[in-house]
A and B are shown apart, each in its own frame.
Chain A
Amino acid sequence: MKKEMIQSILRLVIALAIGLIVSSIFILCAGENPMEAYAAMLQGAFVGKLNILTTLRWSVPYIMAGLASAVAIRAGMFNMGLEGCIYLGGLAAGIVGAYTKGLPSVLHIGLCLLAAMLVGAVWMYLPSRLKAYHGVNEVIMTWMMSYIAVLLCQFLASEVFQKEEDITSAVQQVRTPEIMESAKLSQLVPPYQLNTSFLIAIGLCVLYYLFANRTKMGYEQKMLGMAPKFAEYGGVNVKRMQYYSLLFSGILGALTGAMEILGVHYRYVHGFGLDMGANGILVSLMGRLSPFGVPAAGVFMGAVQNGARAMSRNTNVSLDTVRILISVVVICITAEGLYEVLKIKKKMREGD
């Protein structure tokens, strides 16, 4: 266990180092000093109450989307349609939050989250079913349905639920009415955006840990993802496992969106979940699907994104540079073979 921990930390450090080196090339091209840029980034992410809390606030959707993606990848599938689920969940929560009146806060929030999860499950039912029982490729299926979902949300929000008074020349946004006070997730340290959804995310990480390491299904899911033939031979109900894994991925995705709406935006704002799905997949890969790795990667992602904003404010470096950093880090972490080569080379040198 200890050896593994050290190895995964080492892996992360090496990946990060390579990522920073590669990004500095691009920063140099932009005519800036990489060291200064990184310093600005680090400061923007971690120095000061505002920056730390904002980093944590951003880590919530990444952790959540990361868990959602991890549940599918663990069973050997990619849910490319996370983004669609995030929008749908957000819209469902936003509508239930705005139009249900007179409920106590806990019930109202619960109802909103439940509605989002239900919508997520309904949306993922078809691809899950088709993948598990009919062998349809889930990547294409979920990916394409994601586009439909995003546009459907835009249509519903602007044509059905948007109120006249919300359309102002100042805010040219597709958005639904503000949710009731009772549906809002309270801020942990007002007036900062960090809210109780952070605690929900941590709770889900604990549940994910229990599921992954302590349950029969968690074990079977892992084996299915690592060696489908072995799982089938070993008696795992492959179809059912695939079906529920993909379905749950969608449900968690919808929950991600709902928590964003209830905790930060207080109304459905179209575009709130831009790239969240893709980033969730990256987080789950960066965290190597581990119950510790995913939240760590989520915080890392939050820090990098938040820090990058500061960096682009204070230097000439574009916000997009961090995308290079993140991409390289993900490639390095997921490139299993790279480390094998390093290890073998080292052994061979020792042997000489």
Chain B
Amino acid sequence: MENIVLQLNHITKVFPHPEKPVVANDDVSFELRQGEVHALVGENGTGKSTLMNILYGMLLPDEGTITLEGERVAFKNPRDAIAHGIGMVHQHFMLVPSFSVAENLVFTYEPKKGIFVDLKEAEKIASELSETYGLYVDPKKKIRECTLSMQQRVEILKILFHGAKILIFDEPTAVLTPQESAELFKAFDALKKAGKSIIFITHKLKEVMAAADRATIMRKGKVIDAVKISGTSMEELAGKMIGKKIDVTVRKMKNTGGPEKDRKSVLRMEHISTEENISGMSLKDVTLDVKEGEIIGIAGIGGNGQELIVEVAAGLFRRLKQGRVLYRGEEIHKLSPGTMRSIGIAHITGERYIRGVSSQSDIYDNMVMGFHRKEEYSSGMFLRLKKLRAWIRELVQEFNIKTSSVTTPIMNLSGGNVQKCILARELSLAEDLIIAEEPTRGVDIGSIEFIHNQLLQKAGRGYGVLLVSTDLDEVLSLSSRILVMNAGRIIGEVDPEEPDVEKKIGLYMAGVGKADRGDRE
């Protein structure tokens, strides 16, 4: 008989908004049993994080109650929740980069020696905890020198040190390679044995099947079902998650068209090395070739230099140390972003709300960018306002953007519709090359289909597409070829149709390339 340690009863949470209030949680109930791994599954934006933030004391529910070990509780803030034995490993780690692992671990609960922090004691605590739960960390290392997976382990140990009995993991595998994810799931087992209960938020079904005992599926703020993993299948989960049966491993891109030799190169990077950007990343000898009619997928864990490839290709990062970039055979790496756009390089940016749109402006102002310089829509220094307005209206219709008028502020649209605005603008500006960076991140499932189809159509019509995505399924399903990045290099190339491709990509993502794989064996 398993005990129920935690119950969320009929939680409702509405975020007020002048035009359309968002019901993030709609009468949600959730049960966690002692010593289980319970997956909370759903698409992005279905209210999983909201629910957990309510549990963790960061948000107050509008309705509903929380029962912890049979007692009704209401947390006013995270400290309150921590005191009740609830801990959360956030997607973005809450660690101090310049502090050591041990210092981070005991942060705000430091062992004291007089008025000073007792570092020795802290390090002892760290190594003891590390041993107890089989989570390896190096107590003396500075956080900024640790890998992401070690940082995650520090986070886990930190909340265990705080005395957590219930651990919430918010998308823990987003920053991990498949191999590191497997390690994490092993740690789940150790934690279970120690009597901890785990809530595991994710939208990756494979991981649910691999790691969880039970799963609660959410869709559009509601709980659809709670199931035992041993009695279900991935297809069933997917069906519940998105509301219709789909094949989760479909290949949408068909590698057809003439032999490679006959196709013209659209974008070519030759031995590109760059200076470091703000976050200390640089490209190292990157060579790639996008031919017309191809979708080249760039896979890799986020922050391994993908954004730099995109920025170099779009002219936003021009501090090259060596190499050249060719577009339709002509050198472009010295051109400004404006010139690059005018020669037909379209860029669906991954920084949607920072670069992709001007968030304080309306739909019209956001979609005009780029067209306003075209001869068709301007005469001399003046804009042809009527023509521009008509064109934007046409685009809004063509791309099925749900809005009452083009003067609606862009932030009143849903994430999917904002992305469609960007897509409409960029695809219409494109002449030969489309750079698509995380094109469907945080977008609802209907829009994902639409966006994928648009990209495939463009490739079918002979455009070259450079697809950069951390969503492996997306890359696998859309690409003609896949390049994997690690630490600023292209570490390997795979054919998405070869067997065992995921395992191969996983190894590449972890930095195990062709060159040094020999050393290890």
Contacts and interface: CB of A to CB of B under 8 A. Distances in A.
Q: Considering residues B339, B358, B368, B373, which has the most beta carbons from chain A within 10 angstroms of its beta carbon?
A: B358
A232 interface: yes
Contacts of A216: 372-373, 378, 381-383
Contacts of B372: 216, 219-220
A344 interface: yes
Contacts of A227: 354, 357-361
B284 interface: no
B21 interface: yes
Interface stretch (A12-20, A194-202, A234-242, A285-293): A234-242
Contacts of A234: 337, 341, 369-370
Contacts of A232: 316, 337, 355
Nearest to B355: A233
A222 interface: yes
Q: Considering residues A227, A235, A347, which has the most beta carbons from chain B within 10 angstroms of its beta carbon?
A: A235
Interface in A72-102: none
A343 interface: yes
Interface in B357-409: 357-361, 365-366, 368-370, 372-373, 378, 381-383, 385, 407
B386 to A, nearest CB: 12
A226 interface: yes
- The main secondary structure of chain B at its interface with chain A is mixed
A343 B370 CA distance: 34
Contacts of B373: 216, 235
Nearest to A220: B372
A149 B336 CA distance: 36
B342 interface: yes
Which 4 A-B pairs give the minimum distances between C-beta atoms? A235-B338, A227-B358, A234-B369, A235-B341
A347 B370 contact: no
B351 A347 contact: no
A233 B381 contact: no
B314 A214 contact: no
B277 to A, nearest CB: 14
A223 B364 CA distance: 12
B16 A230 contact: no
Nearest to A347: B18
B340 interface: yes
Nearest to A215: B381
A223 B365 contact: yes
A343 B355 CA distance: 28
Interface of A: 1, 214-217, 219-220, 222-223, 226-227, 229-237, 340, 343-344, 347-348, 351
B16 A233 contact: no
A215 B380 CA distance: 9
A234 B347 CA distance: 9
Chain B interface size range: 35 or more
A319 to B, nearest CB: 37
Contacts of B356: 230, 233
A219 B383 contact: yes
Nearest to A345: B16
A214 B383 contact: yes
Contact of B349 (A222, A233, A340): A233
A227 B378 CA distance: 23
Given A215-B382, A230-B369, 14 more contacts: A214-B383, A215-B381, A216-B383, A219-B368, A219-B383, A220-B372, A222-B361, A230-B357, A233-B316, A233-B337, A233-B356, A235-B369, A340-B18, A344-B17
Contacts of A215: 381-383
A221 to B, nearest CB: 12
A340 B366 CA distance: 22
Nearest to A1: B407
Given A233-B337, A233-B347, A347-B16, A223 B385 contact: no
A232 B337 CA distance: 7
A226 B342 CA distance: 22
Interface string B296-332: 0000000000000000001010000000000000000
A215 B351 CA distance: 28
Contacts of A233: 314, 316, 337, 347, 349, 355-356
Given A226-B361, A233-B314, A214 B355 contact: no
23 contacts: A214-B385, A216-B373, A216-B381, A216-B382, A219-B365, A219-B372, A227-B357, A230-B354, A230-B355, A230-B357, A230-B369, A232-B355, A233-B349, A233-B355, A234-B370, A235-B340, A235-B369, A343-B18, A344-B16, A344-B17, A347-B17, A347-B18, A351-B21
A217 B381 contact: yes
Contacts of A351: 16, 21
Contact of A348 (B16, B314, B361, B370): B16
Contacts of B378: 216
Contacts of A217: 381
Contact of A237 (B18, B336, B354): B336
Contact of B355 (A222, A229, A237, A344): A229
Nearest to B358: A227
Contacts of B342: 235
A337 to B, nearest CB: 13
Contacts of A348: 16
A187 B407 CA distance: 44
A230 B373 CA distance: 16
B369 A229 contact: no
A235 B337 contact: yes
Contacts of B368: 219
A64 B204 CA distance: 60
Interface in B340-354: 340-342, 347, 349, 351, 354
Q: Considering residues A219, A220, A234, A351, which has the most beta carbons from chain B within 10 angstroms of its beta carbon?
A: A234
